[in-house]
Structure 1
Amino acid sequence: MAARNERLYIVTYDIADQKRWRRVFRVMEAYGHWLQLSVFQCRLTARRRAALAMRLDREIKPAEDHVLILDVGPADEVDLRVESLGKSFQAIVREARVI
Structure 2
Amino acid sequence: MSVHDDLTSVQRCLDDLVRSVKRLEQQMGGGGLEMRRVRTDADHLRESVALLREAAPGIAGRKRPDLVSIPDTPYDDSLWTDSDDEGLGARHRHAP
Q: Higher helix share goes to which structure?
A: 2
Structure with the larger RCO, 1 or 2 (CA within 8 Å, 6+ apart): 1
Please give the TM-score of this superposition, normalised by the length of structure 1. Answer: 0.29
Please give the TM-score of this superposition, normalised by the length of structure 2. Answer: 0.30
Q: Higher strand share goes to which structure?
A: 1
- The structure with more radius of gyration: 2
